[in-house]
Amino acid sequence: MDLLNAFVALANFVLIPATAYGAQLALGALGVTLIYGILRFSNFAHGDTMAFGAMVTVLFTWWFQSMGISFGPLPTALLALPFGILGCITLVLFTDRVVYKFYREQKAKPVIYVIVSMGVMFIMNGLVRFIIGPDDQRFADGERFIVSVREFKAMTGLKEGLAIKTTQGITVVTAVVVVAVLFWFLKRTRTGKSMRAYSDNEDLALLSGINPERVVMYTWMIVATLATIAGVLYGLDKTFKPFVYFQLLLPIFASAIVGGLGNPLGAIAGGFVIAFSEVTITYAWKKVLVYAMPESLEPNGLVQLLSTDYKFAVSFVILLIVLLFKPTGLFKGQSV
Amino acid sequence: MSETTRNTLYFAIVAGLILGTGFLQSWNSALFILNMGLISAIMALGVNLQWGFAGLFNVGIMGFVALGGLATALVAMPPIPEAWSAGGVRLLAGLALLVMSIVSTVLAYKRMEAGKLRTLAMLAILTIGFFAFRAVFDGGVEAVEAINPANAGNIGGLGLPVLIAWPVGGLLAAGAAWLIGKTALGLRSDYLAIATLGIAEIIIAVMKNEDWMARGVKNVIGLPRPVPYEIDLQNSASFVEKASNLGIDPVTASTLWVKTLYAGLFAIVLLVLFLMAQAALKSPWGRMMRAIRDNEDASEAMGKDVTRRHLQVFILGSAICGIAGAMITTLDGQLTPTSYQPLRFTFLVWVMVIVGGSGNNLGAVLGGFVIWFFWVQVEPMGQVLLTVLTSGMAEGSALKAHLMDSAAHMRLLTMGLILLLVLRFSPRGLIPEK
């Protein structure tokens, strides 16, 4: 038995990747939940909004790289991020003006919004594929690791290595900063308060003189910012591929619903719940158990509950369980 | 212009488009468009049942279609006795264990009193059941997949006539729909959309990864056919004679004849389903469904069980998609899980229903034909358009090359645009609901 090595292996293969993934999901789910809270529909185009913002960032990153601009040990993409956010905000506000505004004035049913958002999703998806192509794109640069396996082993003398990728570190730090700023904005500023008021009770908010179009505009701007950041972080950490963002839609929705749609705090919690379940259920536990169990009990197989191809099934099952037993989510979300 | 003349005109235009393809391009492609148009019309009927009759938003059509395809492989392929003797028992026993543990969890939930004890009991049953399932099942999978992996490596099918697979495909899809409907119906309308999106992804993932079932991404090829093979026709003296009497060479004649036979089969299915859907629409049941769609609260006050009716219509619509899926796979003669793309099998059907006219069966059928025709013809049109657009640019410029390469992605943009435009400016579609 060697619990220290077991813990290091656990941290290396489960805790750190799941934390980074959870932060990415949480940022994505925050966007979905804000749209739901203010505009009251599930935005199917969110995954492709993330892809679009990330694509603009990738293009700017390449441009900076070709000019020789770099960010030292950090990825150049962080420098390009503000431009990506601006690009995404422009697209999203344009979409709202030409597409969603009409249905708001009609007071259309939520299901119509969902269909419309599906149309938007396909247009955005087509746009991204048209501009950058459907393939994998690499845009990460800078230092690859904060702590590499070799350094860690030399430092501690343990048999198991521990690596923290720069992108994982950046993901978590950025997510914490973004969430802190967002909550400060929602709780302390006038606009943030009017957004919360509008989300809680539309009629009362209108009565007290809040301009709904302004609230909607700010919401879209915040959502585009969150989506771009989430998309870029995911792209840096894993890979940028348009179709992958479409597939992320399911875990993102699952996170938002698990936490309670319309509840920002819930979205964050939901993101981590989904990420940790996905990673722990699809991880082959043999490596950890070899250290943690007495030799006589060591497992023969991989001790993998589900193959990694089924990671979406995990978020789906969690989604079904929440819908069956607690449709408002862990943190009370808006009406069922 | 009266309604009947207008509708006749629409269908005459579609027929003209298909005939035009026959005269200008080739009769083989015209028949291909007709065949897939018939199947698309069936899918559109199914989705119209859910959306047009009941206002249910299903984003998982692809999954139900894929289940139909799976049914074709499982019903029509000859069984592989070696695989069954190697691991069949273990596979069945494993699946039985899985079902048993799920059933006992449900029973525990229903029979025991709410509280910590129940939660613990349910968790315990599920955990033990899952590990028992894996212990039995994994060995069976390994044994089956080891048998002749280059050509088989799966359990094969039942060896029944392929036409039986069509209703079976409908049943499989209905089962999946029941599972989803039971959880997501009765809640907000968005939840059904999200749940169906999920089930579709998972069905495809299962079909890609469970090689023992239908060979996964290694594909099942050579599915039996309900119609004769071209090569047999070409070898039959009487067929060659008939073809030469008509002045067509036997090879072309055989491909055309096979496609025509398929078209006949599909037309029969479409006609039967269409008549059933029409009868349903005009019956008290159809009026009740539309009443529920238009005002759930009022219908509930009238004593209608809204959730149950929704579940019913959701299952029926999904079953029709499953039948269509089995028909597609039969027409292709092979099962290729990678070919199931959400754009092609979910989104396109939605565009068909909305363009055709949601709530109107005839509209759904028309939409199926029209959109399928444009789907096939948009790519050559897009190529032409981009060639014209880029003709002014210098030869060999990077932008031109990029634009020409991207022509394939035009479909996504065009279809998204059509959907948004129709929803905005003509939300009732070509043939509106009466």
A chain contacts of residue B208, beta-carbon cutoff 8 Å = 309
User: What confidence score (pLDDT) does residue A149 get?
Assistant: 82
Interval B375-413: pLDDT, tens: 888 777 777 777 777 777 766 677 777 777 777 777 778
Q: pLDDT class for B62, splitting at 50, 70, 90?
A: very high
Give the model's pLDDT for residue A336.
43
Do the Cβ atoms of A249 and A227 come closer than 8 Å? no
Question: pLDDT (tens digit, 9 = 90+) per residue, A283-319?
Answer: 888 878 878 777 777 777 777 888 888 888 888 888 8
Residues of B in contact with A257 (CB under 8 A): 191, 194
The closest of A332, A331, A281, A333 to A307, measured between CA atoms, is A281
List the single range of B75-89, B275-289, B308-322, B351-365 with lowest mean pLDDT: B75-89
Residue ranges of domains in chain B: 3-79+156-240+247-425, 80-155
C-beta contacts of A77-84 below 8 A and 24+ residues apart: A77/A139, A77/A140, A77/A141, A77/A232, A77/A235, A77/A236, A78/A170, A81/A57, A81/A228, A81/A229, A81/A232, A83/A56, A83/A57, A84/A53, A84/A54, A84/A55, A84/A56, A84/A57, A84/A58, A84/A60, A84/A228, A84/A232
* Cβ pair A123:B55 closer than 8 A: no
Q: What pLDDT, in 10s, does the model give residues B126-175?
A: 999 998 998 888 888 888 888 888 888 888 888 899 999 999 999 999 99
> Shortest Cα distance from A60 to chain B (angstroms)?
17
pLDDT at position A94 = 96
A99-111 pLDDT, tens digit each: 999 999 988 888 8
Amino acid A98: pLDDT: 94
Helix B348-356 and helix B27-48, axial crossing angle in degrees, nearest 10: 80
How far apart, in whole angstroms, are the C-alpha atoms of residue A307 and residue A312? 11
Smallest CA–CA distance from B56 into chain A, residue: A111
Q: Give pLDDT, residue A40.
A: 87
User: What pLDDT is stored for residue A279 in this prediction?
Assistant: 92
Is the domain covering B3-79+156-240+247-425 a CATH 1.10.3470 domain? yes
Is the distance from CB of A232 to CB of A84 less than 8 angstroms?
yes
The answer to whether B376 touches B415, Cβ cutoff 8 Å, is: no
Q: What pLDDT does residue B410 have? A: 77
Architecture of domain A3-325: Orthogonal Bundle (1.10)
On whether the CB atoms of residues B68 and B327 are closer than 8 A, the answer is: yes
Cβ-defined contact of A315 to B198 (cutoff 8 Å):
yes
The low-confidence residues of chain A, meaning pLDDT below 70, are 1, 333-336
Quick check: B415 pLDDT over 60?
A: yes
CB spacing of A327 vs B191 below 8 angstroms = yes
Strands B220-221 and A145-147 turn out to be: unpaired
Higher pLDDT, B12 or B88: B12
CA B317 vs. chain centroid, Å, equals 11
The pLDDT value given to residue B395: 67
Mean pLDDT of chain B: 89
Residues of A in contact with B199 (CB under 8 A): 316
- What gap in Å lies between CA A124 and CA B393, rounded to an integer? 26
Contacts with A119 from chain B: Cβ below 8 Å: 416-417, 419-420, 423
Chain B contact set for A125 (CB, 8 A): 412, 416
Looking at CA atoms only, how far is residue A214 from chain B in angstroms? Answer: 23
Measured between alpha carbons, how far is B413 from B118 in angstroms, rounded to an integer?
51
* Predicted ipTM of the assembly: 0.86
Closest CB to A130 among B190, B205, B406:
B406
Which residues numbered 154-193 in A keep a CB inside 8 Å of some CB on B? none
Q: How many CB pairs under 8 A join A and B?
A: 124
Tell me how close the Cα of B153 comes to any Cα of chain A, in angstroms.
19
- Going from N- to C-terminal start, the domains of chain A cover 3-325
Q: Under a CB-based contact definition with an 8 Å cutoff, are residues A260 and A332 in contact?
A: yes
How far is residue B241's CA from residue B257's CA, in Å, rounded to a whole number?
Answer: 14
Residues A113, A36: Cα–Cα separation, whole Å: 11
Residue A333 has φ and ψ, to the nearest 5°, of -95, -165
A320 touches chain B (CB under 8 A): yes
CA distance B286 to chain A (A): 21
> What percent of chain B clears pLDDT 70, i.e. is strictly above it?
99
Phi and psi based region of residue A143 (left: phi greater than 0; alpha: psi -120 to 50; beta: remaining)? beta
Find the chain B residues whose C-beta atoms sit closer than 8 A to any C-beta of A. Answer: 55, 57, 59, 130, 134, 183-184, 187-191, 193-195, 197-199, 201-202, 205-206, 208-209, 342-343, 347, 350, 354, 405-406, 409-413, 415-417, 419-420, 423-424
A44 in contact with B, Cβ within 8 Å: yes
A296 C-beta neighbours (distance < 10 Å), count:
5
Tens digit of each residue's pLDDT (9 = 90 or more) over B218-245: 888 888 889 888 888 888 888 888 888 8
